[in-house]
Structure 1
Amino acid sequence: MNVLIVYYSMYGHIHRMAEAVAEGVREVPGAEAVLRRVPETLPPDVLEKMGAVEPQKAFAHIPVATVDELASADAIIFGTPTRFGNMCGQMRQFLDATGGLWVKGSLVGKAAGVFTSSATQHGGQESTILTFHTFLLHQGMVIVGLPYTFAGQTRIDEITGGSPYGASTIAGGQGERLPSENDLAGARFQGRHVAQIAAKLNG
């Protein structure tokens, strides 16, 4: 069973979460996790000014996703940073190229989930995932979130990401905060949960 993890990461936070999601997927017998990045849309000089060139070298080895790979996957988990309470432009542009899949119904019935990050604790994580869900519904996919059986999202002893809609992390205004162990645990849980649901859907 092929679980595709498609993400965009500018400074590495979503990449680290994607790795944790993949770890969770691999805990399910017979499930293979495949990591893919969506194409970059910003020119190199802009990325340089944003201080993103060096951080992106850490995951430059991850292949760039193609739309056709979505159709061949048994389940898909998407990762995007928050941009004003919505997905980033790079992810939006990639998804806008999936019209051919929609016409054919290629994604109908596939399990799908979303994880995210934001600079601040209340920076639009939930709205980013919820607005992403509209794409999944238009494609006929089966939305899988992060249930409260992941007890880490009820913690009040530390600042943490995670909601019933999906795993998340808080990056900090300067990207100085890396995903906490609890954030990563939520990502692993969601990866495992999506893979388990996909296994049931695929019989």
Structure 2
Amino acid sequence: MTNVKLAIIYYSMGGTNYQLSKWAEEGAKELGAEVKVLRVQELAPESVIQGNEGWKAHVEATKHIPVATSEDIEWADAIIFSVPTRFGNMPSQMKQFLDIQGGLWATGKTVNKVVSAMTSAQNPHGGQEATLLSLYTTMMHWGTIIVPPGYTDPVLFGAGGNPYGTSVTVDQNGNMVGDVQAAVKHQAKRTVTVAEWVKKANQ
């Protein structure tokens, strides 16, 4: 059992990255980690959300999920981010959340956090890897320890397997292509395990 504190911070419009986050939570808890699942603040106009039935339904279904704060980052030993791709980049909602953490960064409170990330897109080459790399670029500036899944388990050669982080293809009906749950859980457990090593080394 581990004493690692893991924050899973996501942005989701239709529910895919929320589901990835819940699977990551399950995987981390299997190792005994203390887990918070958190969403970043929505920036889209209410009128736009109300005009999209799927988006509106997801917002309503997840309104109980706490909004991530700087205090959550400071609390966590490890962070898993989960975001859809937006033209090969992370969504503006996640970018804003990261951009307002200058106070934590300036005081060294992001240093040596163990970080990993997951993503989704509507086609297999829709920018998943570029999205993860864009997020990891910020993490390099933060001084985090980036823990990609690599090819550290046979499950990563199947659906969702990606050495940068789990990446999911979503069809036009919003359904994930392939069984990616095992890849997500492996990534979560790897992140928690490395965070435990780092935590012990710093004690």
Question: What TM-score, normalized to structure 1?
Answer: 0.92
1:149 shift after superposition? 2.3
Equivalence for 2:174: 176
Partners of 1:128 and 1:9 in 2: how far apart? 14
For 2:173 and 2:90, the matched residues in 1 are separated by: 17
Compute the displacement of 1:87 (Å). 0.2
Q: How does 1:48-127 map to 2 (within 5 A)?
A: 48-51=50-53, 52-127=55-130
Q: What's the secondary structure of 1:136's corresponding residue?
A: helix
The letter for the 2-side match of 1:165 is Y
Distance 1:180 1:5 in 2: 22
Give 2:156's match in structure 1, choosing from 128, 153, 176. Answer: 153
Deviation at 1:196, TM superposition (A): 0.4
> Partner letter of residue 62 of structure 1?
I
Amino acid at match of 1:71: E
Provide structure 2 residue ranges, at least 5 long, that are not aligned to the other structure.
none
Deviations 1:85-132 (A, max 9, x none): 010010011111001011001010110001000011110101100111
Which of 182, 186, 195 is the matching residue for 2:183? Answer: 186
| CA–CA separation in structure 1 for the residues paired with 2:51 and 2:160 | 28
| Contact kept in structure 2, 1:109 and 1:141, CA below 8 Å | yes
Contact 1:9/1:15 (<8 A) preserved: yes
SS of structure 2 residue aligned to 1:202? helix
Task: Give the counterpart of 1:18 among 3, 6, 21.
Answer: 21
- In structure 1, stretches of 5+ residues that fail to align are none
Match of 1:167 in 2: 166
Residues 5 and 35 of structure 1 are in contact (CA less than 8 Å); yes or no, is this contact kept in structure 2?
yes
Query: For residues 180 and 18 of structure 1, what CA distance do their matches in structure 2 show?
Result: 17
CA contact (8 A) 2:14 2:174 kept: no
Alpha-carbon distance in 2 for matches of 1:78, 1:116: 8
Q: Alignment length, in residue pairs?
A: 196
Question: 1:16, 1:179 within 8 Å by CA — same for their partners in 2?
Answer: no
Deviation at 1:175, TM superposition (A): 4.2
Calculate the TM-score normalised by the size of structure 2.
0.92
Q: Contact (CA 8 Å) 1:167, 1:186: kept in 2 or not?
A: yes
**Structure 1 153/162 Cα, relative in aligned 2: closer, same or farther at 3 Å?**
same
- 1:128 equivalent to 2:131? Answer yes
Give the deviation of 1:58 after TM superposition.
2.5
Deviation at 1:43, TM superposition (A): 1.6
- Structure 1 stretches of 4+ with a deviation exceeding 3 A read none
